[in-house]
Amino acid sequence: MELIPAIDLLDGRCVRLMHGDFNEVTYYDTPPERLAGTYRDHGAEWLHVVDLEASRDGEAADTSQLFKLLGSASQSVQTGGGVRSGGDIRARLDAGAARVVIGSLCALDTPRFLRWVREYDSERIVAAVDVALDADNLPWPRVRGWTEEAGMDLWTLMDRLVEGGLRHALITDIGRDGALKGPNRPLYQEILARYPDLQLQASGGVSRVDDLVSLQEDGASATIVGKALLEGAFSVSQALDALK
């Protein structure tokens, strides 16, 4: 399983949002380029970068920090946030991104998203699906910064995406994101049981190395880790040693 450290960018700085709320922002002092370098020096071969400003502000956003990081990072980078067109995808790939992560549009305009999967290669496009669980633990995708329901449950959406050629999916349990409560293993286990060929990236809740080992045992291809690394719950090197 691949460990993928996350860097969320806002106003040129590294941040974390609690449950995706822009009113609940924690800023970190380490510059993004230095943090990326530290993760690489400790053995991380991938980096997950989200441009929160682009996600929030669209074309009005200052994306210079994102493209600066894409040009300087020595590891492979997958990046999302504010990707709304084929031009956005092409610009990020041309700037050095190995994969582009697309969120709301994979649910709101699935045919368009699947055209991008075919056009840019299924190895270079990731569907990011953020879900909230109802009282019966049925996962429902949420879109537009988690403010709206997508209008279908996760299984309906994933059936369409996988049938259309999707290979990489990043699934986040909103209730776990940034909360260090542990990952939602039953959710990921069910996803992998339904779609055994899917390259699943688990996101949300990782707080200790044992969480990573459990996700590896469940069959996840990668785990995105943000807050736990930023706040020193464990280091990249400790995590990689445990995953060997």
Active-site residue set: 8, 130
Assign 53 to helix, strand or coil.
helix
Q: What is the signed CA dihedral for 58, 63, 66, 70, rounded to 10 degrees?
A: 110
Q: Rounded distance, CA 53 to CA 9, Å? A: 7
Q: Rounded distance, CA 55 to CA 141, Å? A: 17
> CA nearest 97: which of 124, 63, 126, 58?
124
As a whole number of angstroms, the longest Cα–Cα distance in the chain is 45
CB 183 within 8 A of CB 204: yes
CB 178 within 8 A of CB 17: yes
Helix%, strand%, coil% for the chain, nearest 5 = 40, 30, 30
**221: which DSSP letter?**
S
CB 55 within 8 A of CB 92: no
Q: Rounded distance, CA 103 to CA 170, Å? A: 9
